[in-house]
């Protein structure tokens, strides 16, 4: 079994910063792409940032230049540095691993439980 656990959410004022972290645990030999998604009340889950095992990143225009994703392949962790936060960034943020090799089989589309980020004065 593989588990993804997020941490680092909280309440921050507009213009502030937060850093989210996600650690994958279990029997893991490799993880393909890891990413962060968010879901605000009444809205669909959307991509926030994505990073391949080789370090290539992808961001939507809504967060480009403000958010930075990074990962440590040796530790099976992924982080999201969020700067210049806006009220519209308020959402539950989820960590995702699209494909994990356990040494015996592939596990697809693994999700963490989510962490709340609230941007408000």
pLDDT of 46 strictly over 90: yes
Average pLDDT, the chain: 97
> Collapsing DSSP states into helix, strand and coil, what is residue 88?
helix
HSE of 94 in the Cβ direction (CA atoms, 13 Å)? 17
Confidence class for position 27, pLDDT limits 50, 70, 90: very high
Confidence class for position 1, pLDDT limits 50, 70, 90: confident
Is the Cβ–Cβ distance between 94 and 112 less than 8 Å? yes
The whole-number average pLDDT for the span 78-89 is 98
Give the separation between CA 90 and CA 120, rounded to whole angstroms.
8
Nearest Cα to Cα of residue 120 among 41, 13, 1 = 13
Is the Cβ–Cβ distance between 20 and 116 less than 8 Å? no
């Amino acid at each position: 079994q593989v588990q993804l656990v997020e941490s680092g959410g909280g309440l921050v004022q507009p213009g502030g910063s937060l850093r989210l972290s996600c650690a994958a645990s279990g029997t893991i030999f490799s993880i393909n792409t890891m990413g962060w998604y968010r879901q605000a009340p009444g809205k669909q889950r959307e991509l926030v940032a994505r990073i391949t095992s080789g370090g290539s990143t992808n961001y939507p225009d809504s967060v480009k230049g403000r958010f930075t994703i990074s990962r440590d392949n040796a530790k099976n962790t992924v982080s999201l540095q969020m700067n210049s936060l806006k009220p519209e960034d308020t959402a539950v943020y989820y960590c995702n691993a699209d494909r994990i090799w356990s040494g015996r089989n592939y596990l697809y589309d693994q999700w963490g439980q989510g962490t709340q980020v609230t941007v408000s004065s």
